[in-house]
Amino acid sequence: MSKMESEQEFEKARSPFAEAWGMFRRNHTAVGALGVLLLILLGAIFGPFLYGVDPFEMVWAPFSPPGEEGFMLGTDYLGRDLLAMIISGARVSLLIGLSAALVSILIGVTVGALAGFYRGWVEEVLMRVTEFFQVLPTLLFSMVLVALFGASLPMITFAIGVVSWTAVARITRSEFLRIRELEYVMAARASGGSNKTLMFTVILPNALPPIIVQSALMVGSAILFEAGLSFLGLTDPNVVSWGQIIGSNRQYILDAGYTVTFPGIAIFVTVLAISLVGDGLNDALNPKLRQR
């Protein structure tokens, strides 16, 4: 049609995902954090096979300092190998972090999407429910749940998920409210799209970036939350988690500080890495920064 347009150099079709990765790659801190996170993940998956010490077995005298007697991180108050416990704890902490985040995303996205899409009384009811959960004292509420229904891993996961979905719901709703007014949603309606199509294939994919960022950060906060619960003793006694190691050794903090320091560092590094990755995702997925 016009010569200029045909002269334009042919641009390659890059998917939004490839584009976001390109942006993410330029943030060196976030890439570093992602590396650390992958190492932790690999350690959690393969660690127990590589380091075959049973974390529940009393292998040596209690309070053996790190590096001495052949135990890299020493032993705890029962004489269990701290390194084995931290490796094993990584599995539990990460698992709870991920699945609690998943639970809260499922609840949050559903509530937020319905509220933002249908508006009216649906929104009114759902947002009041959301507010109800928002004003609950979260730690207390999840303690009650765990105390009532027993301290199993699924219950703890659920307890964490159920108190932390409100932020996702609010973000999803506000994104839906914004996007539903955009012309491409109107265009999809004019093209005969049903409500279901509009919600799930038109609006939701476009609402995802802030939800993804929030989810990443939520994995971190769920790990912290779990640590808090197990510190208080509300944890499955049959598994080891980082918070539980700190909790059970807390009386000896003055005599054997390392028993709480090492799991503390593990939590700190993991959560920090997750936040940094979340930050990087935020920049990568933010369309304003993506413009050349």
Return residues touching another protein (CB under 8 A): 1-7, 10-11, 13-16, 182-184, 186-194, 197, 202, 205-206, 287, 292
Q: Least distance (Å) from another protein to the CB of residue 3?
A: 6
Nearer to another protein, 18 or 58 (CB): 18
Q: Least distance (Å) from another protein to the CB of residue 147?
A: 41
Q: Least distance (Å) from another protein to the CB of residue 212?
A: 13
Q: Least distance (Å) from another protein to the CB of residue 104?
A: 24
Nearer to another protein, 145 or 281 (CB): 281
Q: Least distance (Å) from another protein to the CB of residue 288?
A: 12
Nearer to another protein, 16 or 48 (CB): 16
Nearer to another protein, 137 or 205 (CB): 205
- Output the DSSP codes for 2-35: -HHHHHSPPPP---HHHHHHHHHHT-HHHHHHHH
Q: Least distance (Å) from another protein to the CB of residue 155?
A: 37
Q: Least distance (Å) from another protein to the CB of residue 32?
A: 23
Nearer to another protein, 87 or 203 (CB): 203
Nearer to another protein, 163 or 211 (CB): 211
Contacts of 199 (CB under 8 A, 6+ apart): 113, 117
Nearer to another protein, 59 or 207 (CB): 207
- Output the DSSP codes for the chain: --HHHHHSPPPP---HHHHHHHHHHT-HHHHHHHHHHHHHHHHHHHHHHHS---TTSB-S-TTPPTTGGG-TT-B-TT-BBHHHHHHHHHHHHHHHHHHHHHHHHHHHHHHHHHHHHH-HHHHHHHHHHHHHHHHS-HHHHHHHHHHHH---HHHHHHHHHHHH-HHHHHHHHHHHHHHHTSHHHHHHHHTT--HHHIIIIIIHHHHHHHHHHHHHHHHHHHHHHHHHHHHTT-S-TTS--HHHHHHHHGGGTTT-THHHHHHHHHHHHHHHHHHHHHHHHHHHH-HHHH--
